[in-house]
Amino acid sequence: MPLEIEHRAQLTEEEFDALADKLRQRGVDLGPDNKHIWFYVLPDKLLKVVHNITHGDGKIVVKANRIGEGSAFPEVELSIAANDVPAAIEIFRVLGYGQYMHDAYNQRHNWRYGTVEIALKRSEAWGPHAEFEVVVADGASPAEIDEANDRVRTAAKDLGVRLMSEEELADFTRRFEAKQERKVA
């Protein structure tokens, strides 16, 4: 399974706009990529059902760890038709994952900066933010993973973006989950 090396940055509106301007000048525009995501935050992994509104398709995703537990995310994706998204959500509900489900609309625009893909996103939970990503092959060595992390950090530094630490990501995730639990209660 491919390994995504992901880092995130929370941004103010001004920082978001400044990063978008820099990417328009120095990046490759990969276009809009708006999504409605039903995600299931489990103790040791993240499941998602994604309706890619922009492209008119869907997918089921399993990330084998959680945000705030390292930058390397083993990930498996299964493409599905957009009209199969409701059935996928129902399957997860029937399997007992409904209690872990949160749904969110993500407005996003994708860019490539060198060898790093950057998604500029807006969502209710995160507000304006960016995700920096490099994908490495299944079985990548620790040196290859370190090199991918370095590419992400270099791109962020070059663009003037401060990436969140693992501690900040874990804290954000804990606060988000507590807020969601209060909504359900």
pLDDT for 69 equals 61
CA distance 61 to 158: 31
CA distance 162 to 98: 35
Categorize the per-residue pLDDT at 184 as very low, low, confident or very high, splitting at 50, 70 and 90: very low
Q: What's 99's DSSP letter?
A: G
Helices (H), the chain: 13-26, 85-92, 142-158, 166-184
Residue identified by tokens 């070059």 is: 158
Cβ–Cβ under 8 Å, residues 41 and 184: no
Residue 185: pLDDT over 50: no
pLDDT, one tens digit per residue, over 146-168 is 999 999 999 999 999 999 998 88
pLDDT, one tens digit per residue, over 78-127 is 999 999 999 999 999 999 999 889 899 999 999 999 999 999 999 988 89
pLDDT for 45 equals 85
Residue 183: pLDDT over 60: no
Percentage of the chain surpassing pLDDT 70? Answer: 90
24's tokens: 């328009």
Cβ–Cβ under 8 Å, residues 39 and 47: yes
30's tokens: 């990969």
Mean pLDDT, the chain, rounded, equals 90
Is CATH 2.40.320.10 the classification given to domain 3-184?
yes
Q: What's 121's DSSP letter?
A: E
Percentage of the chain surpassing pLDDT 90? Answer: 67
Q: How many CB atoms lie within 10 A of CB 54?
A: 14
156's tokens: 């962020």
Alpha-carbon separation of residue 30 from 74, 102, 167, 169 (angstroms):
23, 27, 31, 26
Residue identified by tokens 């299931």 is: 40
Residue bearing the bigger pLDDT, 30 or 73: 30
pLDDT for 44 equals 81
Q: What's 164's DSSP letter?
A: P
CA distance 73 to 162: 20
CA distance 95 to 80: 19
Q: Where exactly are the structural domains of the chain?
A: 3-184
Cβ–Cβ under 8 Å, residues 8 and 130: yes
Calculate mean pLDDT across residues 40-56.
91
Residue bearing the bigger pLDDT, 140 or 89: 89
Residue identified by tokens 């008119």 is: 56
pLDDT for 73 equals 66
